[in-house]
């Protein structure tokens, strides 16, 4: 099994790269998705969040009101630390379960937005960073996600810098390119991941022997 950490700045195109890697044969473990699952209604995670922050962080339907919780924790480092102490162990445990369920010869890609910020690179056999210029990131956030330029710049500034991400990268995928060029680059990366896992490159969609 090859354990890959995948990260990139907001708007860099990490989600598209992860989608392509899955298309080519990778097993994807999405930290953001898991973080939502572990605090879904009826879970011990949500109960722990309510115990720590009160029922006011719940939406009328009983689900977690993420904007409300965000307004509570992101302006208070101590409260953010409390939330992380609840959620991060649950995410790690679920990620480990999914990894253990994968075949021994799988390429397992952990999509972790804050991999750089949280110093998680040593957990993986190699780290892939999806990189794009700040101008490209800003354009995508404003044009594709509907953010204001001010909000987009604030979100970008809250993350690690491009240089910090590239410092921990074993492979950098430049995504200042059209989709077809990105697809070609990811295909080349997949060939390298397959070589490291199986000894010989495996073509996208090619069945394992």
Residues of the chain with pLDDT > 90, as a percent, come to 66
| 145-193: pLDDT as tens digits | 888 888 888 888 878 899 999 999 999 999 988 889 999 999 999 999 9
Comparing 73 with 168, the larger pLDDT belongs to 168
Q: In the prediction, which pLDDT does 163 show?
A: 93
d(CA 35, CA 77) in angstroms, rounded, equals 19
Domains and CATH numbers, the chain: 1-26+106-209 (3.40.50.300), 32-104 (3.40.50.300)
Residue 207 pLDDT greater than 60, yes or no: no
Residue 36 pLDDT greater than 90, yes or no: yes
Residue 16 pLDDT greater than 70, yes or no: yes
């Amino acid at each position: 099994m090859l354990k890959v950490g995948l990260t990139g700045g907001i708007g860099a195109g990490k989600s598209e790269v992860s989608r392509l890697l899955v298309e080519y044969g990778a097993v994807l473990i999405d930290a953001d998705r898991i973080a939502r699952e572990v605090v879904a209604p009826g879970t011990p995670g949500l109960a722990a969040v309510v115990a720590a922050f009160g029922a006011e962080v719940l939406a009328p339907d009983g689900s977690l009101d993420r904007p409300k919780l965000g307004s509570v924790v992101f302006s208070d480092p101590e409260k953010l630390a409390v939330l992380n102490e609840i959620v991060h162990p649950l995410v790690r445990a679920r990620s480990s379960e999914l990894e253990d369920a994968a075949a021994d010869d799988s390429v397992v890609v952990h999509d972790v937005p804050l991999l750089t910020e949280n110093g998680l690179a040593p957990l993986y056999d190699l780290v892939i960073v999806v990189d794009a210029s700040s101008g490209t990131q800003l354009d995508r956030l404003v044009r594709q996600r509907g953010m204001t330029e001010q909000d987009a710049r604030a979100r970008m500034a809250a993350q690690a810098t491009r240089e910090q991400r590239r410092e921990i990268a074993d492979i950098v995928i430049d995504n200042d390119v059209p989709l077809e060029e990105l697809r070609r680059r990811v295909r080349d990366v997949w060939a390298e991941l397959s070589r490291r896992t199986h000894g010989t490159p495996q073509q996208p969609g090619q069945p394992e022997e």
